[in-house]
Amino acid sequence: MRVVIAGGHGKIALLLQRHLADRGDTAVGLIRNPDQADDLRAAGATAVVCDLEHVDVDEVAAHLRDADAVVFAAGAGPGSGAARKDTVDRGAAALLADAATRAGVHRYLLVSSMGVDKPPAAGTDDVWAAYLRAKRAAEDDLRARDLAWTVLRPGRLTDDEPTGQVTLTPHAGRGAISRADVAHVLAALLDEPRTAGTTLELVDGPTPIADAIRAAAT
Protein backbone atom coordinates (compact mmCIF):
# COMPACT_ATOMS: atom_id res chain seq x y z
CA MET A 1 0.00 0.00 0.00
CA ARG A 2 1.23 3.48 -0.88
CA VAL A 3 0.01 6.12 1.56
CA VAL A 4 0.59 9.87 1.26
CA ILE A 5 0.46 11.75 4.55
CA ALA A 6 -0.05 15.50 4.77
CA GLY A 7 1.75 17.04 7.71
CA GLY A 8 4.47 14.44 7.40
CA HIS A 9 6.68 15.86 10.15
CA GLY A 10 4.02 15.86 12.84
CA LYS A 11 4.39 13.49 15.77
CA ILE A 12 1.48 11.26 14.74
CA ALA A 13 2.57 11.30 11.10
CA LEU A 14 6.13 10.23 11.91
CA LEU A 15 4.85 7.36 14.06
CA LEU A 16 2.42 6.33 11.32
CA GLN A 17 5.17 6.41 8.71
CA ARG A 18 7.41 4.21 10.83
CA HIS A 19 4.57 1.77 11.45
CA LEU A 20 3.69 1.58 7.75
CA ALA A 21 7.32 1.13 6.73
CA ASP A 22 7.86 -1.59 9.32
CA ARG A 23 5.00 -3.63 7.90
CA GLY A 24 6.17 -3.20 4.30
CA ASP A 25 3.98 -0.37 3.06
CA THR A 26 5.25 2.75 1.30
CA ALA A 27 4.79 5.98 3.23
CA VAL A 28 5.19 9.39 1.60
CA GLY A 29 5.16 12.47 3.81
CA LEU A 30 4.31 15.95 2.53
CA ILE A 31 6.35 18.58 4.39
CA ARG A 32 6.68 22.34 4.26
CA ASN A 33 10.28 22.61 5.45
CA PRO A 34 12.98 20.72 3.51
CA ASP A 35 15.09 20.58 6.68
CA GLN A 36 12.61 18.01 8.01
CA ALA A 37 13.34 15.48 5.26
CA ASP A 38 15.99 13.57 7.22
CA ASP A 39 13.52 12.87 10.03
CA LEU A 40 11.09 11.34 7.55
CA ARG A 41 13.79 9.22 5.96
CA ALA A 42 14.79 8.01 9.44
CA ALA A 43 11.16 6.91 9.91
CA GLY A 44 11.32 4.91 6.69
CA ALA A 45 9.29 7.38 4.62
CA THR A 46 9.86 9.31 1.43
CA ALA A 47 9.82 13.07 1.99
CA VAL A 48 8.18 15.40 -0.54
CA VAL A 49 8.40 19.17 -0.07
CA CYS A 50 4.89 20.48 -0.73
CA ASP A 51 3.61 23.49 1.22
CA LEU A 52 -0.15 23.03 1.14
CA GLU A 53 -0.71 26.72 1.86
CA HIS A 54 1.16 27.80 -1.26
CA VAL A 55 0.59 25.23 -4.02
CA ASP A 56 -2.24 24.51 -6.40
CA VAL A 57 -4.32 21.38 -6.77
CA ASP A 58 -2.41 20.12 -9.82
CA GLU A 59 0.89 20.10 -7.95
CA VAL A 60 -0.60 18.21 -5.02
CA ALA A 61 -2.35 15.74 -7.32
CA ALA A 62 0.96 14.99 -9.03
CA HIS A 63 2.35 13.85 -5.67
CA LEU A 64 -0.67 11.56 -5.14
CA ARG A 65 -0.35 9.57 -8.33
CA ASP A 66 -0.28 5.81 -7.67
CA ALA A 67 -1.28 6.31 -4.02
CA ASP A 68 -3.81 3.96 -2.46
CA ALA A 69 -4.82 6.39 0.29
CA VAL A 70 -4.16 9.81 1.77
CA VAL A 71 -4.07 10.83 5.42
CA PHE A 72 -4.51 14.43 6.52
CA ALA A 73 -2.51 14.77 9.73
CA ALA A 74 -1.41 18.38 9.23
CA GLY A 75 -2.08 21.29 11.53
CA ALA A 76 -1.02 24.89 11.91
CA GLY A 77 0.59 23.95 15.21
CA PRO A 78 1.29 25.78 18.49
CA GLY A 79 1.94 29.47 18.20
CA SER A 80 -0.02 29.93 14.98
CA GLY A 81 -2.84 32.44 14.85
CA ALA A 82 -6.48 32.09 13.96
CA ALA A 83 -5.89 32.80 10.28
CA ARG A 84 -3.56 29.83 9.85
CA LYS A 85 -5.96 27.54 11.67
CA ASP A 86 -8.27 28.20 8.74
CA THR A 87 -5.70 28.00 5.94
CA VAL A 88 -4.14 24.77 7.24
CA ASP A 89 -6.67 22.87 9.33
CA ARG A 90 -9.51 23.61 6.90
CA GLY A 91 -8.05 24.89 3.64
CA ALA A 92 -5.21 22.40 3.29
CA ALA A 93 -7.53 19.50 4.15
CA ALA A 94 -9.88 20.60 1.38
CA LEU A 95 -7.00 21.04 -1.06
CA LEU A 96 -5.80 17.51 -0.32
CA ALA A 97 -9.33 16.21 -0.98
CA ASP A 98 -9.49 18.11 -4.27
CA ALA A 99 -6.13 16.65 -5.26
CA ALA A 100 -7.15 13.14 -4.22
CA THR A 101 -10.22 13.36 -6.43
CA ARG A 102 -8.15 14.61 -9.34
CA ALA A 103 -5.56 11.87 -8.86
CA GLY A 104 -8.17 9.12 -8.51
CA VAL A 105 -7.31 8.34 -4.87
CA HIS A 106 -10.54 7.35 -3.17
CA ARG A 107 -9.50 6.58 0.43
CA TYR A 108 -9.07 9.61 2.71
CA LEU A 109 -8.46 9.64 6.47
CA LEU A 110 -8.85 12.95 8.32
CA VAL A 111 -7.34 13.43 11.77
CA SER A 112 -9.75 15.83 13.43
CA SER A 113 -10.48 16.72 17.05
CA MET A 114 -13.02 16.09 19.74
CA GLY A 115 -15.19 19.01 20.69
CA VAL A 116 -16.15 20.15 17.20
CA ASP A 117 -19.80 19.09 17.32
CA LYS A 118 -20.87 22.24 19.16
CA PRO A 119 -19.92 25.88 18.55
CA PRO A 120 -17.13 27.11 20.84
CA ALA A 121 -18.49 28.23 24.18
CA ALA A 122 -18.60 31.90 25.08
CA GLY A 123 -15.24 33.04 26.41
CA THR A 124 -13.25 30.40 24.49
CA ASP A 125 -9.79 31.57 23.47
CA ASP A 126 -10.03 33.04 19.97
CA VAL A 127 -7.32 30.84 18.47
CA TRP A 128 -8.70 27.66 20.00
CA ALA A 129 -12.18 28.59 18.79
CA ALA A 130 -10.78 29.15 15.29
CA TYR A 131 -9.12 25.72 15.45
CA LEU A 132 -12.37 23.99 16.40
CA ARG A 133 -14.30 25.81 13.68
CA ALA A 134 -11.65 24.93 11.09
CA LYS A 135 -11.69 21.25 12.04
CA ARG A 136 -15.48 21.15 11.88
CA ALA A 137 -15.46 22.85 8.49
CA ALA A 138 -12.90 20.33 7.23
CA GLU A 139 -15.12 17.48 8.39
CA ASP A 140 -18.22 18.96 6.78
CA ASP A 141 -16.38 19.54 3.52
CA LEU A 142 -15.09 15.97 3.45
CA ARG A 143 -18.49 14.43 4.18
CA ALA A 144 -19.93 16.17 1.12
CA ARG A 145 -17.39 14.55 -1.21
CA ASP A 146 -17.56 11.31 -3.15
CA LEU A 147 -14.58 9.81 -1.33
CA ALA A 148 -14.19 6.82 0.97
CA TRP A 149 -13.53 9.08 3.93
CA THR A 150 -13.10 8.32 7.60
CA VAL A 151 -12.89 11.03 10.26
CA LEU A 152 -10.87 10.16 13.37
CA ARG A 153 -11.25 12.37 16.45
CA PRO A 154 -8.58 11.55 19.05
CA GLY A 155 -8.89 12.63 22.65
CA ARG A 156 -6.19 14.46 24.56
CA LEU A 157 -2.90 13.43 22.99
CA THR A 158 0.04 12.12 25.02
CA ASP A 159 3.51 10.82 24.25
CA ASP A 160 2.98 7.74 26.41
CA GLU A 161 3.93 4.29 25.19
CA PRO A 162 1.18 2.60 23.17
CA THR A 163 -1.06 0.13 24.94
CA GLY A 164 -2.75 -1.29 21.85
CA GLN A 165 -6.08 -1.04 23.65
CA VAL A 166 -8.62 1.68 22.92
CA THR A 167 -12.18 2.88 22.86
CA LEU A 168 -13.14 3.63 19.25
CA THR A 169 -16.78 4.61 18.82
CA PRO A 170 -18.83 7.52 17.45
CA HIS A 171 -19.09 8.90 20.99
CA ALA A 172 -16.17 7.72 23.09
CA GLY A 173 -16.37 10.31 25.86
CA ARG A 174 -13.56 12.44 27.21
CA GLY A 175 -10.16 10.87 27.71
CA ALA A 176 -6.55 10.66 26.60
CA ILE A 177 -4.82 8.59 23.94
CA SER A 178 -1.16 8.15 23.05
CA ARG A 179 0.00 9.42 19.68
CA ALA A 180 1.47 5.99 19.01
CA ASP A 181 -1.93 4.35 19.49
CA VAL A 182 -3.48 6.96 17.18
CA ALA A 183 -0.92 6.02 14.53
CA HIS A 184 -1.70 2.32 14.90
CA VAL A 185 -5.42 2.99 14.64
CA LEU A 186 -4.90 5.04 11.47
CA ALA A 187 -2.96 2.17 9.91
CA ALA A 188 -5.69 -0.27 10.88
CA LEU A 189 -8.36 2.00 9.40
CA LEU A 190 -6.48 2.01 6.11
CA ASP A 191 -6.81 -1.78 6.09
CA GLU A 192 -10.57 -1.77 6.74
CA PRO A 193 -12.55 -0.15 3.90
CA ARG A 194 -15.83 -0.80 5.71
CA THR A 195 -14.99 2.06 8.08
CA ALA A 196 -15.52 4.51 5.20
CA GLY A 197 -18.26 7.02 5.89
CA THR A 198 -17.78 6.90 9.67
CA THR A 199 -16.76 9.49 12.25
CA LEU A 200 -14.99 7.85 15.17
CA GLU A 201 -13.75 9.16 18.50
CA LEU A 202 -10.66 7.58 20.04
CA VAL A 203 -9.45 7.38 23.64
CA ASP A 204 -7.71 4.84 25.82
CA GLY A 205 -9.87 1.83 26.56
CA PRO A 206 -10.11 -1.90 27.12
CA THR A 207 -10.45 -3.15 23.55
CA PRO A 208 -7.56 -4.37 21.37
CA ILE A 209 -7.20 -2.17 18.31
CA ALA A 210 -7.99 -4.97 15.84
CA ASP A 211 -11.23 -5.77 17.69
CA ALA A 212 -12.17 -2.09 17.94
CA ILE A 213 -11.70 -1.67 14.19
CA ARG A 214 -13.84 -4.73 13.44
CA ALA A 215 -16.60 -3.39 15.69
CA ALA A 216 -16.44 0.04 14.00
CA ALA A 217 -16.79 -1.61 10.60
CA THR A 218 -20.03 -3.43 11.41
Query: pLDDT grade, residue 216 (50/70/90)?
Result: very high
- State residue 118's pLDDT score: 83
* pLDDT for the residue 210: 97
Residue 128 scores a pLDDT above 90: no
pLDDT of residue 39 exceeding 90, the answer is yes
Pairing relation of β-strands 107-111 and 148-154?
parallel
Looking at residue 155, its pLDDT comes to 96
Pick the CATH number of 2-216 from 3.40.50.12280, 2.60.40.10, 3.30.9.60, 3.40.50.720: 3.40.50.720
Q: CA 131 → CA 59, 116, 122, distances in Å?
A: 26, 9, 15
Compute the distance between CA of residue 96 and CA of residue 25 in angstroms, rounded to an integer: 21
In angstroms, the CA 118 to CA 115 distance is 7
Mean pLDDT for the stretch of residues 154-163: 97
218, pLDDT greater than 90: no
Which residues lie across from 109 on neighbouring strands? 71, 150
What is the predicted pLDDT for the residue at 125?
87
Determine the Cα–Cα distance for residues 89 and 203; give it in Å rounded to an integer.
21
Q: What is the pLDDT of residues 76-86, one digit of tens each?
A: 777 778 889 99
pTM of the predicted structure, to 2 decimals: 0.96
Residues 6 or more apart whose CB falls under 8 angstroms from that of 190 comprise: 1, 3, 68, 69, 71, 107, 109
Read off the pLDDT band of 50 (50, 70, 90).
very high
* Every domain of the chain and the residues it spans: 2-216
Is 207 in contact with 181 (CB distance < 8 Å)? no
Q: Is 136 exposed, middle or buried (0-12, 13-18, 19+ CB in 10 A)?
A: buried
**How large is the average pLDDT for residues 118-123?**
82
What pLDDT sits at residue 104?
Answer: 98
